[in-house]
A and B are shown apart, each in its own frame.
Chain A
Amino acid sequence: MPGFMPIRNKIVALAISVGLLLLIIELVRRRKLREEYSWLWLLTASTIIVLSVWFDLLRWITSLVGAMVPASTIFMLAFLFLIFISLHFSVVISKLTNHHIELAQRYALLELELNELKKQLPLCQKENDKKE
């Protein structure tokens, strides 16, 4: 296992992670990404920055998980991130499904109520006219 990260690798990793971090912040600023869905992305970008700068930490995680080279650790972390973000989106989609079903049900019930009120309306007007 190399004792240091080549400077070119460090610059590329830093540039990608800082770019990702800025992109996420910009998307939140433009309200194209909600704060509640940005935290996992921000965590990932921050993790890449920390690991790029603090190579000893990457080496420590590599030996902890029993990987041969730091690149394997990075792939494993990237894979874990993709699993977590997919799971997170599944939870969000489930929540949205519940919301859209409840909205559609409420819409259907309100439409029925509205149609029945509309049917009653001419009768009410005629009764009012008679009274007048």
Chain B
Amino acid sequence: MKGSGKRVALLIPAYNEEARIASVIQGVKEKYPLLEIVVIDDGSQDGTRRRAMEAGARVISHPYNLGYGVALQTGYKYALGQGCEALVQMDGDGQHDPAYVRILLDAIEKGTADLAIGSRFLDSGGLEPGRLPYRASLMRRCGMALFGTIASLLIKQRVTDPTSGYQAMNRRVLEWVSSDRFPWDYPDADVIIMLHRAGFRIQEVPVQMYENADKKSMHSGWKPLYYVFKMFLSIFVTLMRK
């Protein structure tokens, strides 16, 4: 990353994002030309891999679809192996505004936090003209409020956006999330609680997120029910662990 002197990578997990991955990469490259962009293609059946490579990203491809959490961890392992001192992760569907990469990294580089979480619910004030801000469904809002409240109570710090995939972390957190303690299945509020219990400092940073053009979500069908069950179980067993 320019100016910082440290090796920093930007991870973009992507599954069937052929339509948007190139513009997401271009958006990052325009603002941060020296940042290493790593796309983790999670076994896409479309041209995600090709488009990402053409756009100038380094692409790691899973042989088959393994899920969002596994894709993230593959990227963490790569960054750790490459000696990265910090890492930013963002989604490949264009919801995350790359302008906030610098702000997330600043929180890490200043040393005020080990994990910086981009929150769409803190006022960022930087809406791009012509784009709709992020609007979650009622059910999703309820889920986020519920797990945000649980996480806030457990870590004794306000958590407004426990499901945000727009994050930055330092190498110590990178080492932790690359281990087998990282939950592959919907890593959200439970990871925040686990990291807090492991002694890491967490900070929320206001970011701008936009509406997904396809309204495609990994929380569709019966998945929200499983998500709620998994999150409760994961938080419960986390509290039981030393």
Contacts and interface: CB of A to CB of B under 8 A. Distances in A.
Contacts, number: 34
A108 B49 CA distance: 12
Q: Is the interface of A mostly helix, strand, loop or mixed?
A: helix
B60 A104 contact: no
Contacts of A101: 66, 70, 184
A109 B66 contact: no
Interface residues of B, number: 17
Contacts of A112: 58-61, 78
A54 B174 CA distance: 60
Most chain A Cβ neighbours within 10 Å, of B63, B64, B180, B184: B63
A132 to B, nearest CB: 32
A98 B60 contact: no
Interface in B73-100: 73-74, 77-78, 81
A109 B74 contact: yes
A83 B58 CA distance: 47
A56 interface: no
A109 B64 CA distance: 14
Interface string A74-118: 000000000000000000000000100100110111011000000
Size range of the chain A interface in the assembly:
under 10
Interface string B216-238: 00000000000000000000000
Contacts of B74: 105, 108-109
19 contacts: A98-B180, A101-B184, A104-B63, A104-B70, A105-B66, A105-B73, A105-B74, A107-B63, A108-B61, A108-B62, A108-B63, A108-B74, A109-B60, A109-B74, A109-B77, A109-B81, A111-B60, A112-B60, A112-B78
Interface of B: 40, 58-64, 66, 70, 73-74, 77-78, 81, 180, 184
Interface of A: 98, 101, 104-105, 107-109, 111-112
